[in-house]
Amino acid sequence: MLNKIIYSGYDIEKFSFEIIKDSDGGTYSTKINNDTISFFERDPDKQEHPFDIKLDVDLTAYANEGNAEEDLAFILSASLRIAFIIRDPDINELSEEFMDQNNWFFENYVALSIKLALESLLKNTPFDGLELRWSRPKNNPNNLQPSP
């Protein structure tokens, strides 16, 4: 059934960006909050059923190694809508069991969307060029990753 689910892109619904201090390096952490799945009305003219994963993500960067409050460089928060389409007229929803078994599939698209969205928001700021990892964020506030 995964072969009938198409990634359709992402939208940044809102964001906030606060620069605390300039930095030439350091660490960052990414945290996902409030993820929900929403299914929409099927278009009667199409054999597709759209659904979204909505989530809030926080990117916190520190000027030095570690996560001390005095080293905080910036905080970027964004609300994303990640869109998918089910291309099967007989499927109206995805079971919790299906979602659990195929969580990796959706997490990969979530990670891709987060990376691209946050990097695009950092363009034309003092932090332009910060490359986030392609790997999925862990919801551990101490999950610090060195900035490349």
What's the confidence (pLDDT) of residue 148? 42
Strand order in the sheet with 145-146: 5-19, 72-86, 49-62, 27-39, 145-146
- Domains of the chain by range and CATH? 2-146 (3.10.420.10)
What is the rounded distance in angstroms from the CA atom of residue 133 to the CA atom of residue 13? 22
Give CA–CA dist 86/105, Å, rounded.
14
Contacts of 136 (CB under 8 A, 6+ apart): 107, 108, 110, 111
pTM, entire model: 0.83
Q: What is the mean pLDDT of each run of 10 residues along the chain (148 residues)?
A: 93 96 84 83 78 93 80 94 89 85 90 95 90 70 43
pLDDT at 101: 92
The pLDDT score that the predictor gives to residue 22 is 82
pLDDT of amino acid 66: 67
Q: What is the DSSP letter of 65?
A: S
